[in-house]
Structure 1
Amino acid sequence: MNEQEARLILRAGRPDDQDRNDPEVAAALQVAERSPELARWLAEEQAFDRAMAAHLAATPAPFGLKTRILAQATAPATSRSARWLVGLAGVAALLFLLAQVVDLWHNAAPDAAVLPGYASEMVSFVKLPPRLEMESADLGAIKGWLAQNGTLTPEVPANLAALQPVGCRVLAYRGHKVSLVCFQRAEGKLAHLFVVDRAALPGLKPGAAPSFDQEGEWTSALWAEGDRAYMIAVQGDEAAVRSYLPSA
């Protein structure tokens, strides 16, 4: 099985590893484990699926929709062909609406939901210790590896740089490469530093106060410096993440 075939199979899979026991899906996942590029794509797809599901679940149904559906269901049809055409039109309308929602999700103008959405996606990658593409305790070597792989090298805040680096990897967000560098904290926990081109988050303005986001036991801080967007995520409260910010 090549990468293109694996991508097609994984794209058709159901979320939450429901198809992991399927032989074809299992084989495709093995291909992804051997291919960093395919693994990045799969992680981004899974994060998008989770965010999309949460977005749709939080979207209220239009007022009166149930009444209109029931009214259509009980309306007499003049013929079998008429019923078929009505059903086909309904399916077409539903597919069009879904396409518009997906397109809007990918290309919507920046608003207050964009920054928490980015934070949520990035935190989803590190809730379990992430598989690193390069492991090293040498921050200089880590920056060199990121530069060689065509992604941004972060300016690490002093208090974060005082921790021992663990390694790094490259993630993706809406077509932008995201550099992830992990640092060892106390009690076996990690601090995660993300950096991406600020064009990926046009609503984020340099000089503004960091934006904090809480997701379960994780807290993240997001801010902009020049043409870059930085984020630090840790297991802990806001005080824990503040201790690693540039202004700390």
Structure 2
Amino acid sequence: MEIKGSVALVTGANRGIGREFARALLDRGAAKVYAAVRDPASVADPGLVPLRLDVTDHEQVAAAAAAAGDVSIVINNAGIGGSGSTLLEGGFDGARQAMEVNYFGTWAVSRAFAPVLARNGGGALVNMLSLVSWVGRPDFPGYAASKAAQWSLTNALRQGLHAQGTLVVGVHAGFVDTDLSSWTDAPKISAATVAELTMDALENDRLEVLADAETRKVKAGLSLPPNVVPAI
């Protein structure tokens, strides 16, 4: 996938990993990068094109696809943690919201932009996943389940969009140093590192990014018996 001269769209591009994705695309020579966010006024980086998009609002998703018809790279980065839903107590509102944003939001954006990518030569679709796409967590089960669903969706999109020549990339990482993981003092990698590794994957047509050592360890452990898969 050639980034130089391309037109890209990044959801949730006003902060965290999304902001680093957008910056990295510009650094690699993208001609235009849409920053697709709920509040366009929150996009302060020069060179980005603000675009209103709440991934849970189907009318806004359709409008964004119509407005950004020149896109050849779509990065589904927008996501939430689903806080408030614990494993054995309390309500499910946080978990439902995580599924709505992380899974259904990614699905809606991917579905809307698939024809755009096809018209523009196939291009690439990138989904920001997680280490917990593969390993459930009792401390944040709703988020982990939404990422597992998003990983399944990514695999389905890879197969479903193959015929139109779309590269589908899944990006997995453990804790990244953003607001989403500010609650823990566990080791973290930088959002810039995730973005750079993803740009490398795009330019080399790689289907998957394993951004840190912990993620690589868990992925390798999937082939082991369930009782010895590394815990996180």
Fold conserved between structures, TM > 0.5: no
Write 1 or 2 for the structure with the bigger share of strand.
1
Greater CA radius of gyration, 1 or 2? 1
Greater relative contact order, per chain length (Cα 8 Å cut-off, separation 6+): 2
